[in-house]
Amino acid sequence: MSDPVFVSVAWLRANIDAPGITVLDGSWHMPASHRVAFSEFEEKSLPGSVFFDIEQVADTDSAFPHTCPSPSQFADAVQALGIRNTDFVVVYDAVGLFTAPRVWWLFRLFGHHRVAILEGGLPAWEAAGLPTTLGRPPNPAPEPFEVLFNDQLLATHEQVRSAIARGGHSILDARSNGRFAGTEPEPRPDLPSGHMPGAVNLPFSRVVDPLRGSLVNESELRSMLEDHQNAAPGSIITSCGSGVTACVLALALHTLGVTARVYDGSWTEWATRAPEAIEIDSV
């Protein structure tokens, strides 16, 4: 098969035990939810799946949350999860479509394109009456995982600053309207709300169909993103609070054939490092 963006519950049910299929639980929850993704995985997971911790498959020395790992850090972590370069990776999360796109994006960032998202995630699997199991520890892969870093999918703080100064780029912010406008607080203490100069607000929830745990249909996506469908590769930067739901927007654009860069540090980094460049919408 080619490299699909999504696979269905029916497809995974038929193929979950096939050689070369690796299933990852890529769940993560905001601290305010008081949910612990790994504990939930230990209690309930798809059969044979392993847990992909975005907080640990990361640059853990960074001051910012779940910062993108280096190529060597990613390679070591993925090998430890038992994943080979030849594997077809299927990612799901416990919400439906929330953090799985972050894991999907990380694999593509490091050159592994044989990765897809389970449409509907864990809720869809359970709704189909399919069994779950207790989470299991991974078995390391016998050979090193080789990466090929694609810097066209990533935007650093310096690159975002440069893009704003030069113009000609679109910055899509996936946070809620209130956080973007500066009228609602950020969930992270002492972090001001607002937005980057010239950014456009597109809350990630608008591109997600919560009933299906997938993206809204293509015509709706095209309507929301019609101003960006002919954008040059790399000219769109997606951002959010900490680089997670920015990947949902990158996923939506990808399905329309548009390549975006994800600002990994997103608002947490911007508001910390560039407080002088925060804009607030007038009421």
| DSSP assignment letter at 4 | -
Question: Is the CB of residue 243 less than 8 Å from the CB of residue 55?
Answer: no
Contact 248, 204 (CB under 8 A): yes
CA atoms of 218 and 224, how far apart (whole Å): 10
Half-sphere exposure at residue 268, Cβ-oriented, CA atoms within 13 angstroms: 17
* Strand 214-215 relative to strand 208-209, pairing: antiparallel
Residue 43 · residue 70 · CB < 8 Å: no
What six digits make up the tokens of 153?
Answer: 């999918």
**CA 20 to CA 88: how far, in whole Å?**
6
Strand pairing category for 170-173 and 200-201: parallel
Cα–Cα distance for residue pair 281/194, rounded to 1 Å? 8
240 given a catalytic annotation: yes
Instruction: List, in sequence order, every residue forming a beta bridge with 236; answer none if it has no partner.
Output: 170
User: Which one from 37, 215, 240, 252 is the annotated catalytic residue?
Assistant: 240
Point out the residues that are catalytic.
240
